[in-house]
Amino acid sequence: MPPFKDLSGQTFGYLYVIEPTQKRQGSNRVFRCRCLNCGKIVELPSRTIAHSQQVSCGCIKNRNLTTKPIAEKLGQVGARYVMPWLV
């Protein structure tokens, strides 16, 4: 097994890695992280953090769902949303 890589003190997206925990998810060590956007503490495996598969605790995703226009939510960026019953 390769040596343990400590991610403590590094920032990935909005996540600041605080410390490693004793937990493991498969062969990955789990780290305690603080979301720089909202301050929530989350625990994530090293692979998820290092490969930028998750860049916040989830608050960014939730914020985007409530603030994006309906066309962007539906994947129709720049398109005009037409209600089917009006056509």
pLDDT in tens, 6-26: 899 999 888 999 999 999 988
pLDDT tens digits, 44-67:
999 988 888 888 888 877 665 555
Give the pLDDT score at 87: 46
DSSP conformation class of 24: E
Helix (H) or strand (E) holding 64: helix 59-67
Residues 6 or more apart whose CB falls under 8 angstroms from that of 51 comprise none
CA distance 29 to 46: 6
